[in-house]
Amino acid sequence: MTKAEIRDVHARLVRGLPISEEVLHASVEELFELSEAIVVLLCGRDEALEAKKEEINELEGKIEDLETQLGEAERAPKLKRERAPKLKRERKQKVQQ
């Protein structure tokens, strides 16, 4: 049945006009099929939503870990760069030999 036919059946029911039993049965079957399709779609959306929520929770956990690591790195003592002139001298000595 098309949407127009279903609307026609609904209008006839509201007005109290007679409807054949076959047409009424067909429209009820169509409505059940449509409601089943809607339930399937909603269940799929619920599953997708749950998957996204889990993904968001995982990402939030990773963000917290990174923030913790960043905080630890900021509190860590700063290392001073020391020059190694001794290494340069050793290279020169090896090249000269």
The average confidence (pLDDT) of the chain is 81
Q: What percent of the chain has pLDDT over 70?
A: 78
Strands (DSSP E) contained in 9-89 are none
Q: Tokens for 95, please give them.
A: 């090249």
Tens-digit pLDDT profile for the chain (97 aa)?
A: 677 887 888 888 888 888 888 887 888 888 888 889 899 888 888 889 999 999 999 999 999 999 998 888 877 776 666 665 566 566 666 666 5
User: Cα–Cα distances in Å, from 80 out to 74, 77, 84, 86?
Assistant: 15, 9, 12, 17
The angle, 0 to 180 degrees and rounded to 10, between the axes of the packed helices 3-15 and 21-75 is: 120
What letter would DSSP give residue 82?
Answer: -
In contact, 64 and 42? CB cutoff 8 Å: no
Overall pTM > 0.85: no
